Amino acid sequence: MRSLFLLASVALLSGQSPLLVKPYLQLGDNPTDASRMTVVFHAAAPGKFTVTGPKGKAIPAVEQKIAATSVAEHFVYSAELTGLKPGAEFLYSVSHDSKIIFQAKGLARKSAGQPSRTVIFGDSGQDNTPQREIAWRTVQAKPDMVFIVGDIVYSRGLVSEYRQKLYPVYNADTDSPNGVGLMRSRLFTGVPGNHDTVTTDTTKYPDAQAYFLYWKQPRNGPALGGKHQPLLQGDHAAAFKTSAGSAFPNAANYSFDYGNAHWTMLDGNDYVDWQDPALQKWVADDLAKAGKATWRFIGFHQPGFNSSKAHFSQQQLRWLAPIFEKGGVDVVFSGHVHNYQRSYPLTFTPSGPGAKKGEVDGAWKLDQAYAEKGKPKGVIYIVTGAGGAGLYNPEQDQNRATWQPFTKLFVSRNHSLSILDLNGKNLLFRQLDGKGQELDRFEIAK
């Protein structure tokens, strides 16, 4: 094994690596099978790339040409590893013209019987000190999986921004306060935030919408029928769509199982109308199909229940609250608002649109008896958007008079990350700041 590492190091040190972005681990189009993971990497030129997993067989990597005129044409390669032992570390390597050019250890997905730890944060991709501090804290938390809950890169979701603000921070060659090597060893998942999809002018920004090029996630989302997606304009829209293939726009909504949890990931951007009965049916059916999972979680960027003065009117995801409740959802994770908030366990009945665009009126019922332990009556809504970008509304920290009635805790003076531990019927949630100080904690037992 040592000689393989040496070979890889020599090739990389001598500058011969044809890789633009080193390998990282993704779900691939595989919602449920814990023995499979997809290895993804980017190259400047087409070539004969293979990936070898623990089974020892070289798997030819599938090539995807990315034509964007503002960055050089490049190639995304993917290969699915099979036969992995759930929850176990495995060694994998990438070869170019049969020579090993990269090697790393990955962690296979957890099966339903195994405990798991997920780290969650959003609004992170700023290439700044707080982002790196949260990344460094994430690696020390030793997650099995990381979920970035939108605004993956600022401020336009460009290819060039991925190369500056995502991969160097989370897919570095070593772990240090300047960047961590987590993406090559642990599953990363994501949902699109507003900054990831806001740039629709492909004439001015031909390398926009990189989310749809670089994340390889299940294609089991709802049929969008040309609606509920970023409306691309300009000279390079067709070239982008060819590059993205079926990922655009379908990779914005999907679901998967990890350990004994089912995750439903949604696009919370305002071009999606979550009042559309077809979309609502997809969410309801997805939760109903997750029958065996002990835990159900939802992830989307724009929080329905938010006490911050920032983004207060963007309540469009409140329309789904009754579906989450009926579907047995435990916790909903959002970002967008750059601070940390936890709601009381709540149920909500929408009554109609509110006074301002995006607002949703209705009545909530709060479980104020839930004392951070036991079984809550309702869904807990978490805002964990303090992953790197500048904090919002620090003046509301500890200032309860400014909070909505549904908010139990609001911390806006610290960047932070969420750590979700699942062990059978027990859930432990902790919110830590960049120094490792615990800001919040609750448990659920079923």
Q: Give residues 252-291 in contact with Fe ion (rule: CB under 5 A).
A: none
Q: Give residues 18-37 in contact with Fe ion (rule: CB under 5 A).
A: none
Q: For 168-312, where are the E strands, in sequence order?
A: 171-176, 179-181, 187-190, 254-258, 261-265, 295-299
Element (H, E) at 231: none
Cβ–Cβ under 8 Å, residues 185 and 107: yes
Nearest approach, Cβ of 433 to Fe ion (angstroms)? 20
Cβ–Cβ under 8 Å, residues 181 and 175: yes
Nearest approach, Cβ of 220 to Fe ion (angstroms)? 25
Q: How far apart are CA 88 and CA 85, in angstroms?
A: 6
Nearest approach, Cβ of 347 to Fe ion (angstroms)? 26
Question: b/e for 109-119, b at 16 or more Cβ within 10 A?
Answer: bbbbebebbbb
Nearest approach, Cβ of 319 to Fe ion (angstroms)? 19
User: From residue 9, how far is each of 12, 24, 70 by CA, in Å?
Assistant: 5, 18, 31
Strand partners, 22: none
DSSP track, 372-432: SSS--SSBEEEEE--SSSPPS-GGGTT-GGGS-TTEEEEE-SS-EEEEEEEETTEEEEEEE
Strand partners, 77: 41, 63
In terms of CB distance, is 103 or 189 closer to Fe ion?
189
DSSP track, 326-384: HTT--EEEE-SSSSEEEEPSEEEEEEEE-SSTT-EEEEEEE-TT--SSS--SSBEEEEE
Eight-state DSSP code of residue 201: B
In terms of CB distance, is 155 or 404 closer to Fe ion?
155
Nearest approach, Cβ of 420 to Fe ion (angstroms)? 21
In terms of CB distance, is 153 or 187 closer to Fe ion?
153
In terms of CB distance, is 23 or 193 closer to Fe ion?
193
In terms of CB distance, is 22 or 336 closer to Fe ion?
336
Q: Give residues 323-342 in contact with Fe ion (rule: CB under 5 A).
A: 336
Nearest approach, Cβ of 386 to Fe ion (angstroms)? 12
Place of tokens 């492909």: 202
In terms of CB distance, is 42 or 336 closer to Fe ion?
336
Nearest approach, Cβ of 195 to Fe ion (angstroms)? 6
In terms of CB distance, is 229 or 314 closer to Fe ion?
314
Nearest approach, Cβ of 193 to Fe ion (angstroms)? 4
Q: How many helices (H) and strands (E) does the chain have?
A: 10, 25
Residues contacting Fe ion: total by CB under 5 A: 4
Nearest approach, Cβ of 316 to Fe ion (angstroms)? 13
Q: Give residues 33-92 in contact with Fe ion (rule: CB under 5 A).
A: none
In terms of CB distance, is 42 or 156 closer to Fe ion?
156
In terms of CB distance, is 41 or 215 closer to Fe ion?
215
In terms of CB distance, is 78 or 194 closer to Fe ion?
194
DSSP track, 93-115: EEEETTEEEEEEEEEPPPPTTS-
Question: b/e for 76-88, b at 16 or more Cβ within 10 A?
Answer: bbbbbbeebebbe
CA–chain centroid gap for 267, Å, is 11
Cβ–Cβ under 8 Å, residues 44 and 20: yes
Nearest approach, Cβ of 194 to Fe ion (angstroms)? 4
**Chain residue whose CB lies nearest Fe ion:** 336
Phi, psi for 245 (deg, rounded to 5): 60, -145
Integer distance in angstroms from the first to the last C-alpha of the chain?
44
Q: Give residues 142-201 in contact with Fe ion (rule: CB under 5 A).
A: 151, 193-194
Report residue 416 as tokens: 């932070």
In terms of CB distance, is 313 or 398 closer to Fe ion?
313
Nearest approach, Cβ of 165 to Fe ion (angstroms)? 14
Q: Give residues 376-435 in contact with Fe ion (rule: CB under 5 A).
A: none
Q: Where do contacts with Fe ion occur on this chain (CB under 5 A)?
A: 151, 193-194, 336
